[in-house]
């Protein structure tokens, strides 16, 4: 079956390319036909040498040339999967590169001309890549999967949004590579996968969480934020994406991120996202009482979120302190903030940054000397 698929792809290359050969002379036409025939006979070194020699002679701007070159390298990729593993990915990279330079890749798709166009070639290529990826995963060859993701990223403009079938196969490939990356904690070559998978709905919670981590480790706060917001919409009962959103909000140095958060929330149908965005925006503008009320409305939905509880405590405390500056004591709010900070400490005792400063401030204000000394020793 694989031989038939390879032969069909090669014949398809010949059919389409022959209609475009006016720009090539008879000798060049003959060389291209010979290269594909040699490739079909597993004479790959000869076929590739023919293709490369023609490129050196300046025909690599011709669409017919790229049709043939794509077929030659596709055949070599298929062959290398079985016999010469180290050459498989370079061959795939070359095959996709030439496919991307064929004129009909997008035009044929838009004209619904599916009988002999590059959409079919792309779907066949990705089908073979899918099988190859599954083999790598079964063999625990995560190094090759990491290199494969780099090849996909290099050819992203050729791969994406060319047909629903191709897109779905690409999604399966990226999803499997990402699972391998999660297992091996590798971020080296998966930003393309993050970009592609991050745009999809209904990916697994584990994948969505990992994408957030990838963006955060790459200091791409905006992409991390949007990915976390998608997580809130897709998994509304899970507090982890709320935690990530708040972490990004607290740590970002991008002043434009608040506007992006508000803009994203305005178009969202998810009430939790809108409330979270409002709270973060109020907090950023030092409207702490309004921020506290927004976060409080979320607390019943996410009772296990230490990040949300900590931000709610900080909003409550700062609101009370700002009232003191205007001559109005709000002891009730101070005690509310104390209860919240104690809850945060109980939920997340290891991360002192979430509660130690708040408790110190409150104990000092309330003259709770014993508790103040205990917290002071932790600072």
Q: Judge whether residue 187 has pLDDT over 80.
A: no
The confidence band for 16, taking pLDDT boundaries of 50, 70 and 90, is: very low
Averaged confidence pLDDT in the chain? 81
Report pLDDT for 331. 85
Report pLDDT for 185. 66
Residue 156 lies in a domain: no
The C-alpha atoms of residue 155 and residue 167 are separated, in whole angstroms, by 14
Residue 364 lies in a domain: yes
Cα dist from 52 to 35, 38, 40, 48, whole Å:
10, 14, 17, 6
Q: Judge whether residue 227 has pLDDT over 60.
A: yes
Q: Which domain holds residue 319?
A: 298-379
Q: Judge whether residue 99 has pLDDT over 50.
A: yes
Residue 145 lies in a domain: no
Number of domains forming the structure of the chain: 1
Q: Judge whether residue 358 has pLDDT over 50.
A: yes
Residue in 335, 306, 369, 343 with CA at minimum distance from that of residue 377: 369
Report pLDDT for 291. 92
Of residues 337 and 10, the one with the higher pLDDT is 337
Residue 320 lies in a domain: yes
Residue 328 lies in a domain: yes
Mean pLDDT of 30-49: 90
Of residues 216 and 37, the one with the higher pLDDT is 37
The confidence band for 344, taking pLDDT boundaries of 50, 70 and 90, is: very high
Residues 6+ apart with CB under 8 A from 214: 187, 190, 191, 194
Helix, strand, coil % over all residues of the chain, rounded to 5 = 75, 0, 25
H helices, E strands: number in the chain: 21, 0
Of residues 76 and 281, the one with the higher pLDDT is 76
Residue 341 lies in a domain: yes
The C-alpha atoms of residue 127 and residue 35 are separated, in whole angstroms, by 24
Report pLDDT for 9. 47
> Do residues 207 and 240 touch, judged by C-beta distance below 8 A?
no
Residue in 322, 320, 366, 362 with CA at minimum distance from that of residue 341: 362
Q: Judge whether residue 3 has pLDDT over 50.
A: no
Report pLDDT for 217. 73
Report pLDDT for 14. 45
Strand, helix or coil at 253?
A: coil
Q: Judge whether residue 20 has pLDDT over 70.
A: no
Residue 181 lies in a domain: no
Residue 374 lies in a domain: yes
């Amino acid at each position: 079956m694989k031989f038939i698929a390879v032969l069909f792809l090669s014949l398809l290359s010949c059919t389409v390319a022959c209609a475009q050969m006016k720009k090539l002379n008879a000798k060049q036409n003959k060389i291209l036909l010979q290269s594909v025939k040699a490739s079909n006979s597993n004479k790959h070194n000869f076929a590739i040498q023919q293709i490369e020699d023609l490129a050196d002679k300046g025909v690599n701007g011709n669409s017919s040339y790229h049709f043939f070159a794509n077929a030659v390298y596709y055949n070599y990729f298929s062959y290398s999967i079985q016999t010469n593993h180290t050459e498989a990915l370079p061959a795939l990279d070359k095959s996709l590169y030439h496919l991307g330079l064929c004129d009909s890749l997008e035009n044929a798709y838009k004209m619904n001309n599916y009988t002999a166009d590059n959409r079919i070639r792309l779907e066949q290529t990705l089908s073979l890549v899918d099988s190859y990826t599954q083999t790598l995963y079964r063999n625990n060859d995560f190094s090759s999967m990491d290199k494969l993701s780099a090849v996909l990223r290099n050819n992203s403009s050729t791969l994406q949004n060319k047909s629903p079938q191709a897109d779905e196969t690409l999604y399966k490939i990226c999803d499997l590579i990402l699972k391998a990356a999660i297992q091996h904690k590798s971020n080296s070559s998966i930003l393309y996968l993050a970009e592609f998978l991050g745009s999809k709905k209904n990916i697994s919670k584990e994948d969505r969480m990992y994408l957030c981590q990838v963006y955060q480790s790459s200091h791409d706060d905006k992409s991390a934020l949007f990915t976390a917001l998608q997580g809130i919409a897709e998994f509304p009962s899970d507090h982890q994406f709320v935690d990530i959103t708040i972490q990004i909000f607290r740590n970002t140095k991008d002043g434009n991120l608040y506007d992006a958060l508000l803009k994203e929330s305005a178009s969202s149908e998810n009430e939790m996202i809108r409330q979270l965005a409002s709270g973060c925006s109020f907090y950023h503008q030092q409207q702490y009482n309004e921020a506290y009320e927004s976060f409080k409305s979320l607390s019943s939905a996410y009772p296990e979120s230490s990040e949300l509880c900590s931000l709610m405590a900080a909003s409550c405390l700062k609101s009370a302190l700002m009232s003191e500056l205007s001559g109005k004591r709000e002891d009730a709010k101070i005690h509310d903030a104390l209860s919240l900070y104690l809850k945060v400490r109980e939920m997340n005792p290891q991360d002192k940054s979430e509660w130690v400063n708040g408790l110190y401030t409150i104990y000092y204000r309330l003259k709770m000397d014993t508790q103040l000394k205990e917290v002071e020793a932790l600072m």
